[in-house]
Structure 1
Amino acid sequence: MSEAAVPHIFQHTLKAVIKRFELGALLLYLASVAFALGAIWFEQNQQAEAIMQATNQWYPASLVEIFNIESGLPLYHEQLSSSDFTLLREVSNDTLTLVFIHPFYLLVSSWLFIAFNIVFVAFVVAIRGSLSKTLTLSFDPIHALENWVALSRIHGKYQPIQAKEPISESIAELLQKLQEAKASQGQAELQIRERLLLEPETGVGNREFFNNRLDALLKEEDSRGCVMLVCFKDFDTVQTAYGAQQALDIVEQAIGLIQKRLVNFNNYFIARPNEAELALLLPGFYADEAEKLANRVLASISQVPLPIGVAQEEFVHMGVVCFAGDNQAYKVMAEADMALRNAQLQGPSQWFMYDTGEVAAETAKGSLKWRTFLERAIEKNAFVIFFQPVIASQSDQILHHEVLSKVRDSQGQLTSARVFLPMAQKCGLSAKIDLLVFEQVCRLLQYESKQPDACSLNLSIDALLDEQFIEAMFIKLAQVPDIANRLIIEISEYHLVTHLNKLAPVVGLLDELGVKILADKVGQYVVSTDYLRDCPISYIKLHRSIVYLVHEKMENQVFIQSLKARCLQHGVKIYALGVESKEEWRTLVHLGVTGGQGHFFTEPVAQMANAIVLP
């Protein structure tokens, strides 16, 4: 923001006071001159009256001539030198006309008048300088505040106040309190999330947290994953014999070992449905991966030291279930619970998973085949983009379209991003695929330049942290700058929080180009929303787990309300993903959501013709 936008109270006030002082001095000077002229004029009138009564008396120096009107002859004449000014004044009666030197000439030619002017000007200059200095000192705190405001607007954020005046100190104190209030508000919102969705003793998710994530995952197209239930057999015995704290310590150690084992997996959820159980949700896992991980988790938990009297070899049992395609949460959890009971029936610590006909087919397609398939798809640009509209809550108009992608195999079948993107990430191909889709969207926006609708595109964290991708993206935007204001980049909330320092410069450059930023999957993880303060975010999109059956889940409604209060401060609009029913949409609109997206409105629409045939 330019400095011209800052009101200059000090300068305006100083100029106004000085101008009024100068005007007053001018009026005083003119009044003095007028008074002197009037005095000379009056004196000449008195002298003329005396001379007319006795013409033979002494004549004043200012009298030039006395002329008799009846005879036409001069009675007195004072010869003026050729250098004298001839500005004269006449005073007459019935018989005589007296000619005087004009009072104005007498005044301006007087050395007393010249001395008066010098003294008056010196006096005015001195008073003006003293007044300016006094006002400058008096307005110095305001001047300092104006400089502080201008500097803050130039830098785009409040700068430290250097002045020590009472006003400056009070403003500095208010700014500090404002910053503390904003920080405490972020902490308060985080506490609301934690109380609603986290188990208070261990800090992991509670039953509602786990059920929401599972419901949301199962609603996604081509969803797959794994659920593991971990049960501690003699938990009640430890709690009774050694106390609640000893039992809690065992659970916390087990959680820590599980998290250490899953350190290389950034997309998993852990919860504590009840005191003696833990639940793991692992999106995108195949059966063979689940088997390997189950062995490692079991081995890790078996390292937890147990008190005397508790059998180590029978303390931990696990039930594992893999799911893919269309499933219901209660069926998945029922199968996981049955698997857990089967493991407990066997006696010793172990895990159990039921075999299904789907397991063998999934295991047969390993990472090597996926890499070969995806590299061939990248080479042939076999990616098809679809559009799903985001609908306004108040007018039912389309706000923008989200770009979804699928890949076509050699048989012409389409595979959704939910299936191929996890494998692309494993093979290190996410950035290349994101760049292909990004270029398709740019070409489509350029081709359909008359269409005002914007498009949102979800970019992976691998792409956003890849220097080659970032360079190629900005080069493309520089080639077609007109599409920037119609482009929205979606970034996962989790990645915005965990990689904020690396993403902030990229987000800032995109914002300068006119590209809007959308924080995606908000509410999937329990994290702080301070990124709204640190990044130029225009929109946020609620995760499916928050939207699913929101009309029945008060904790999700409270979460949205707290989030809305934070968004209002930063001018951020809230969208909802995965709206499936009229009841959900009605509740979301009531809670202040700006737009919605999901099968309740429409299915994704393919844009193959324009996206693929464009040059």
Structure 2
Amino acid sequence: MQLQPGATDYLALNLGDSLAFVDKRLLPGTDVWFYVVLNSVFILVFLPLALLFRRRRSALTSEVIELDKAIRILQDKVELNSRSGTAPSIALGKVSERINHLLKRDQEVRHLVRVQGLIDHELAIGNRVFFESKLQHYLGDVSEVAYGALYIIQLSHPEPGPAGIKQLTRLKGCVDILHGMAAAYPDTVMARLSDNDLVLLVAGLTGREMEKLGDRMATLLSRASCFADCTGQDVLHIGYAGYQRDQTSYQILSEADMALKTAQLHGPNAAYGFVQQDSKPPAKGSVWWRSELNKALQEHRFTLSFQPVFSWQDSDVLQHEVLVRLQSSDGQNIPAAIFLPMAHNCGLTGQLDQHVLLKTAKLCAVDSRTYSRCSVNISIQSLLEPQWCDWLDQMLLSGQLEPQQLALEISEHHLLKHYKQLKSRLIKLHKAGFSLIVDQIGLVIDNAIYVDELPLESVKLHPSVVRNINQHLEQQLFVRGLVSGYAGKGVKVIATGVELEEEWLTLQKLGIAGGQGFYFSQPLNQIIAQGQTQ
């Protein structure tokens, strides 16, 4: 800039980004040193403040620009077509909604993969492959009740072509009613046997009980509203047969099919069955069972055995599952599948679970340096009782139970049925130090809502899924989907009921972490220490 004549009469002051000129003549009587001091004060005080303000303003401007870029990137990633001027809070809210939608869709896809090979998608129940694997399990596994009934329900007069839609509606109506009836029994399996046939297995039914259920089933189904548009009264027939352990699935299905043909000869909506009179073990009343179980608890007549779970990667023991048997007063060796329902009826399930936990804990504590952890099956009745949970807390405080030595197993069927009540309690047990295991995976085909909410260590396949898996692509698809679904969660998938080398080789290829069964070892009288296997 240019100054007017007499520029020597001006004092120059440096003010940060600006240069100020003060006319000395406006300040009469002041010494030149005063202006020098004044200029120094500006330089030393106001200049740094001005520079600091400038830098802070620049930094804030950059942060605002970066935040705006981040919001735009989020909007682009979730395909939000936000208008100009949309508030950041609204945009982020839409992002959250989109993420929740994607998580829900991921759960649906995992469930679809899990059941793809075992479900009838029209009726949302098991298919024939699913049912036959379950039937083989009930006929061959000593842990299940040794007898029961199998029902085939066949709709009359199938309607092909466009009219088949009505037939599908009637099948769905029957499925809804059968679900309600099956809820009264602890162990049932339902599936679609063929296009026009439904099948229901009910474990533990005696001869007279299966006759009553067959007649009641025929009455309720034939009067259902789904048959209201039928022109005739003949809408369905039911054939049933009793089964016992060690029979073949072909034999049972053949007898039920023969009974179905006999029912068709008897007239409209008839039910007919072949009942084996010796299908029930010697009857003992509730009074006998209550006395026997109480004495067995007092006299320590419940014996424990241990079935090891082997890891194929480490060739070592992962853990042991505790199996319980009752040494009865008359010298019989009674499996859990027989006495556990009686304990439940007598209200002694909680005491029995306490007895098994404490006995297992003492055995595990013999040599804590080399022990292999044990998993104990806990009944749903115990976990739902506040008094039982209080007892467990007391045992932990007193040191009688060491949670790191124990894993708690609960069946998937019971977990899904009581999930709302069990969720918080299972999370609390995990925080206390117990590992959580869900077993009998594959026995039911409901959506596993617990997968993303419980801190599980492992899940165990039901033996019916493992049986002859090398021959069934559907079962392999089920296991592969299950392993993939748990891969990112650190949850191990373990196979139970492994009996053949071909089964084990197939399971290894599918990504199974471990297995247990007669292929590895019979139940043992003692715990194998880790590192002691050949």
Question: Do both proteins adopt the same fold according to a TM-score greater than 0.5, normalized to the shorter chain?
Answer: yes
Q: Which of 204, 209, 227 is matched with 2:149 structurally? A: 227
| Shift of residue 134, structure 1, vs aligned partner | 4.4
| Shift of residue 366, structure 1, vs aligned partner | 4.1
| Shift of residue 180, structure 1, vs aligned partner | 2.8
> Is the aligned partner of 1:116 residue 2:40?
yes
Report which stretch shifted further, 242-251 or 543-552: 242-251
| Shift of residue 144, structure 1, vs aligned partner | 12
Please identify the structure whose Cα radius of gyration is greater. Answer: 1
> Is the aligned partner of 1:376 residue 2:376?
no
- Name the CA shift for 1:326/1:478 in 2 (closer, same or farther; >3 Å): farther
- Name the CA shift for 1:306/1:234 in 2 (closer, same or farther; >3 Å): farther
How many residue pairs align between the two structures? 478
Q: Which of 429, 450, 464 is matched with 2:383 structurally? A: 464
- Name the CA shift for 1:360/1:177 in 2 (closer, same or farther; >3 Å): closer
Please give the residue correspondences for 1:434-453 in structure 2 after superposition, counting only pairs within 5 Å. Answer: 434-453=353-372
| Shift of residue 112, structure 1, vs aligned partner | 4.3
Tell whether the 8 Å contact from 2:152 to 2:257 is kept in structure 1 after alignment.
no
> Is the aligned partner of 1:354 residue 2:274?
yes
- Name the CA shift for 1:606/1:411 in 2 (closer, same or farther; >3 Å): farther
Tell me which residue corresponds to 1:262. Answer: 182
Tell me which residue corresponds to 1:604. Answer: 523
CA–CA distance in structure 2, aligned partners of residues 527 and 195 of structure 1: 12
> Is the aligned partner of 1:388 residue 2:310?
no
Tell me which residue corresponds to 2:173. Answer: 253
CA–CA distance in structure 2, aligned partners of residues 561 and 522 of structure 1: 13
- Name the CA shift for 1:264/1:357 in 2 (closer, same or farther; >3 Å): closer
| Shift of residue 133, structure 1, vs aligned partner | 5.2
Structure 1: segments with no counterpart, 5+ residues: 1-108, 147-163, 609-615
- Name the CA shift for 1:173/1:352 in 2 (closer, same or farther; >3 Å): same
- Name the CA shift for 1:249/1:412 in 2 (closer, same or farther; >3 Å): same
1:243 match: secondary structure:
helix
> Is the aligned partner of 1:298 residue 2:222?
no
Q: Which amino acid aligns with 1:403?
A: V
Identity %: 27
Tell whether the 8 Å contact from 1:492 to 1:521 is kept in structure 2 after alignment.
yes
Tell whether the 8 Å contact from 2:148 to 2:205 is kept in structure 1 after alignment.
yes
| Shift of residue 397, structure 1, vs aligned partner | 0.6
| Shift of residue 207, structure 1, vs aligned partner | 0.9
| Shift of residue 194, structure 1, vs aligned partner | 4.5
Q: Which of 251, 257, 265 is matched with 1:337 structurally? A: 257
Could you give the per-residue CA deviations for residues 533-587 of structure 1, whole angstroms, max 9, x where no partner exists? Answer: 1111111111112111111111111111111221012111110111110001000
Q: Which amino acid aligns with 1:132?
A: R
| Shift of residue 143, structure 1, vs aligned partner | 9.5
CA–CA distance in structure 2, aligned partners of residues 165 and 309 of structure 1: 62
Report which stretch shifted further, 191-200 or 484-493: 191-200
CA–CA distance in structure 2, aligned partners of residues 416 and 452 of structure 1: 26
| Shift of residue 192, structure 1, vs aligned partner | 3.2
- Name the CA shift for 1:581/1:171 in 2 (closer, same or farther; >3 Å): farther
Tell me which residue corresponds to 1:564. Answer: 483
| Shift of residue 497, structure 1, vs aligned partner | 2.8
Could you give the per-residue CA deviations for residues 290-330 of structure 1, whole angstroms, max 9, x where no partner exists? Answer: 23322322221232346565344xx5433333333333222
Q: Which of 166, 171, 185 is matched with 2:106 structurally? A: 185
Tell me which residue corresponds to 1:139. Answer: 63
1:281 match: secondary structure:
strand
Q: Which of 442, 448, 466 is matched with 1:523 structurally? A: 442
Report which stretch shifted further, 541-550 or 525-534: 525-534
Give 1 or 2: higher helix fraction: 1
2:320 match: secondary structure:
strand
1:571 match: secondary structure:
coil
Please give the residue correspondences for 1:44-59 in structure 2 after superposition, counting only pairs within 5 Å. Answer: none
> Is the aligned partner of 1:491 residue 2:415?
no
Tell me which residue corresponds to 1:577. Answer: 496
2:123 match: secondary structure:
coil
Q: Which amino acid aligns with 1:452?
A: Y
Report which stretch shifted further, 269-278 or 343-352: 343-352
Tell whether the 8 Å contact from 2:415 to 2:422 is kept in structure 1 after alignment.
yes
> Is the aligned partner of 1:533 residue 2:452?
yes
| Shift of residue 423, structure 1, vs aligned partner | 2.8
| Shift of residue 487, structure 1, vs aligned partner | 1.5
CA–CA distance in structure 1, aligned partners of residues 228 and 100 of structure 2: 47
CA–CA distance in structure 1, aligned partners of residues 317 and 414 of structure 2: 28
Tell whether the 8 Å contact from 1:578 to 1:598 is kept in structure 2 after alignment.
yes
Tell me which residue corresponds to 1:429. Answer: 348
| RMSD over aligned Cα atoms | 3.3
Tell me which residue corresponds to 2:133. Answer: 212
> Is the aligned partner of 1:325 residue 2:245?
yes
- Name the CA shift for 1:427/1:336 in 2 (closer, same or farther; >3 Å): farther
Tell whether the 8 Å contact from 2:147 to 2:280 is kept in structure 1 after alignment.
no
| Shift of residue 458, structure 1, vs aligned partner | 1.3
| Shift of residue 131, structure 1, vs aligned partner | 2.6
- Name the CA shift for 1:522/1:142 in 2 (closer, same or farther; >3 Å): farther
Tell whether the 8 Å contact from 2:395 to 2:401 is kept in structure 1 after alignment.
no
| Shift of residue 169, structure 1, vs aligned partner | 8.0
Could you give the per-residue CA deviations for residues 104-150 of structure 1, whole angstroms, max 9, x where no partner exists? Answer: xxxxx99946962664133213422453354246436989999xxxx
Q: Which of 41, 51, 71 is matched with 1:127 structurally? A: 51
Structure 2: segments with no counterpart, 5+ residues: 1-32, 71-84, 528-534
Tell whether the 8 Å contact from 1:284 to 1:419 is kept in structure 2 after alignment.
no
Could you give the per-residue CA deviations for residues 417-442 of structure 1, whole angstroms, max 9, x where no partner exists? Answer: 11222233333332222222112122
1:565 match: secondary structure:
helix
CA–CA distance in structure 1, aligned partners of residues 65 and 294 of structure 2: 67
1:128 match: secondary structure:
helix
Tell me which residue corresponds to 1:310. Answer: 232
Tell whether the 8 Å contact from 1:456 to 1:488 is kept in structure 2 after alignment.
yes
Tell whether the 8 Å contact from 1:485 to 1:516 is kept in structure 2 after alignment.
yes
Q: Which amino acid aligns with 2:365?
A: Q
CA–CA distance in structure 2, aligned partners of residues 530 and 263 of structure 1: 20
- Name the CA shift for 1:361/1:111 in 2 (closer, same or farther; >3 Å): same
Tell whether the 8 Å contact from 1:145 to 1:168 is kept in structure 2 after alignment.
no
CA–CA distance in structure 2, aligned partners of residues 175 and 529 of structure 1: 24
TM-score, normalization: structure 1? 0.70
2:365 match: secondary structure:
helix
TM-score, normalization: structure 2? 0.80
CA–CA distance in structure 1, aligned partners of residues 437 and 485 of structure 2: 15
- Name the CA shift for 1:254/1:186 in 2 (closer, same or farther; >3 Å): same
Could you give the per-residue CA deviations for residues 409-466 of structure 1, whole angstroms, max 9, x where no partner exists? Answer: 1023221111222233333332222222112122222333233311111111111111
Tell me which residue corresponds to 1:501. Answer: 420
Q: Which amino acid aligns with 2:45?
A: V
CA–CA distance in structure 2, aligned partners of residues 216 and 145 of structure 1: 59
CA–CA distance in structure 1, aligned partners of residues 58 and 420 of structure 2: 49
- Name the CA shift for 1:178/1:483 in 2 (closer, same or farther; >3 Å): same
Tell whether the 8 Å contact from 2:177 to 2:221 is kept in structure 1 after alignment.
yes
> Is the aligned partner of 1:277 residue 2:201?
no
